[in-house]
Amino acid sequence: MKRALGVAALLCLAACRGNTEPVAVTAADAGSTVMLHAGQRLRVELDSNPTTGYRWQLALPADAPLRSEGDAEYRPDPHAAGLVGAGGHEIWSFRAERTGNVTLHFEYRRPFESGPPPGRSADFRVSVR
């Protein structure tokens, strides 16, 4: 009986801590809601080709329940190694700090152009429990 109670307590403790596996989303997931637990990581991977002058931009609200884990990282497509002008992906990493909701609004634009609308955009609603 004591052993069964001990196992049940451990299972409850694990469930209360929540899932800490990272969650990865791409442009195909845009418009969806991402559910995270505090401490969990979020990885956003978006197609990009900086040789065109375009880059993904994000303004993370100061009160967001997420913390950026640094600048976006660009990774060229593996099959495009050595090809000039080939594309790749920008990868953004975040950590859920506290409960709350935020919409991550990414815009694919040339930073030196202020007038034209973005070439693309992607929104991800994030809910941290």
Q: What is the pLDDT of residues 49-90, one digit of tens each?
A: 988 999 999 999 999 999 999 999 999 888 755 667 778 999
Taking domain 20-128, whether its CATH number is 2.60.40.2020 is answered by: yes
Q: Per mean pLDDT, which range of 10-14, 47-51, 102-106, 125-129 is the poorest? A: 10-14
pLDDT score of 11: 33
pLDDT score of 18: 57
DSSP string, 59-113: ---TT-SEEE-SS-EEEE-GGGTT-TT--EEEEEEEEE-SSEEEEEEEEEE-TT-
CB atoms inside a 10 Å sphere around CB 126: 22
With contact defined as beta carbons under 8 Å apart, do 36 and 126 qualify?
yes
Distance between CA 38 and CA 19 in Å, rounded?
9
pLDDT score of 47: 96
